[in-house]
Amino acid sequence: MIDAAGLRVMKAIADEGSFTSAANALGFTQPAISQMVRRLEQRTGTVLVERYGRQVRLTEAGQVLARHAVGVLAALDAAEEEITAIAGLRAGRVRLQAFPSSSATLVPRTLAILKARHPDITVTFTEAEPPESLAALRRGDCDVAVAFAYEGGDLGELEEDLSLLVTRRLLDDEVRLVVPRTHPHAEDEAATLADFSGEEWIAGCPRCRGHLLALADTAGFRPNVAFETEDYVAQLGLVTAGLGVALVPDLILNAAKHDEVATLPLSPASRRQILAVTTPDLLRVPAVAAALDALCEAAGADPGVSPAHLVGGEA
């Protein structure tokens, strides 16, 4: 019944004292004001303006509208300002979830880039394994999820989780075999997994363990898993102590100290893909886009975007 335009007009009349001035103040012509008032009057069924001679003044009802106009228009302007602030990266929120081992280097570097570039954006970060982070993304509790998938392994399984989502490949993380310095194969150029079928193995998180099992299966043996820990630093410690061997991604090795062990590339090589995941709509939210850019930059990847179902396709 009453809209913002009507209030704006009433306020302008109250402020300016005449239809003509109000029209000028609002950038309209005088007849626009004239019939705007008339429409308002017949909508409310009330006399809003008293025309006396060639001057106009608001009736009590008109003053009521003009008075309320102040608050309403202020609130409207405030809303608009907030929106443009979000659009202009002068405000906004990004909720990031990433898997634990990315927290060490990728995420901190991303947050630093983001903070430097857009200091007014609020970034929240939660550590979560891919299944949970993607669930949060689908649920709407998260804006960007950083996930990983082992090539050939759970890429297919992940793919179904990625339907309706978009991803950016951040980096290809090569998996290396970590053995004690004193190990007979410690000086090899590369490691063939079958050579280690008799070792005791140290496994990580459920999905990493799954990857280990898959690789071993391909190599024709079942690994003897003696220890399990999700903490890669602990894994390196166990290897250092000579208690077994482990598969550890490069990303971890670049960040953690590992002088006491030998790290061998696998032959054939095995990699995991690290992906940033979000929804198509969120991609168009400036703060989210900025976060993705920062993630790419931190990972040193090109900032190309690919729909979820193309993840394993090319490359």
**Which residues lie near DNA (CB under 7 A)?**
3, 5-6, 18-20, 23, 27-32, 34-39, 49, 51-56, 163-164
Total number of residues binding a copy of itself (CB under 8 A)?
A: 45
**Planar angle of CA 249, 254, 260, nearest 5 degrees:** 90
- Rounded Cα–Cα distance for residues 137 and 277 (Å): 8
**Planar angle of CA 130, 308, 281, nearest 5 degrees:** 90
Interface characters, 240-279, with a copy of itself (x: CB under 8 A): ---------------------------------------x
The number of beta carbons lying within 10 Å of the beta carbon of residue 239 is 26
Among 42, 116, 189, 284, binds a copy of itself (CB under 8 A): 284
The number of beta carbons lying within 10 Å of the beta carbon of residue 35 is 9
- Rounded Cα–Cα distance for residues 49 and 61 (Å): 8
**Planar angle of CA 159, 113, 208, nearest 5 degrees:** 35
Which one, 53 or 304, has the nearer CB to DNA?
Answer: 53
Pairing status of strand 122-127 against strand 93-98: parallel
Interface characters, 94-133, with a copy of itself (x: CB under 8 A): ----------------------------------------
**109 touches, from DNA, a copy of itself, none (C-beta below 5 to 8 Å by class):** none
- Rounded Cα–Cα distance for residues 36 and 61 (Å): 16
Which one, 137 or 296, has the nearer CB to DNA?
Answer: 137
**Shortest distance, position 38 Cβ to DNA, whole Å:** 6
Is residue 92 within 8 A of residue 285, CB to CB? The reply is yes
**27 touches, from a copy of itself, DNA, none (C-beta below 5 to 8 Å by class):** DNA
Residues lying near a copy of itself in the complex (CB under 8 A): 1-5, 7, 44-47, 49-53, 57, 59-61, 64-65, 68, 71-72, 75-76, 78-80, 82-84, 86-87, 92-93, 138, 140, 164, 279, 281-282, 284-285, 287
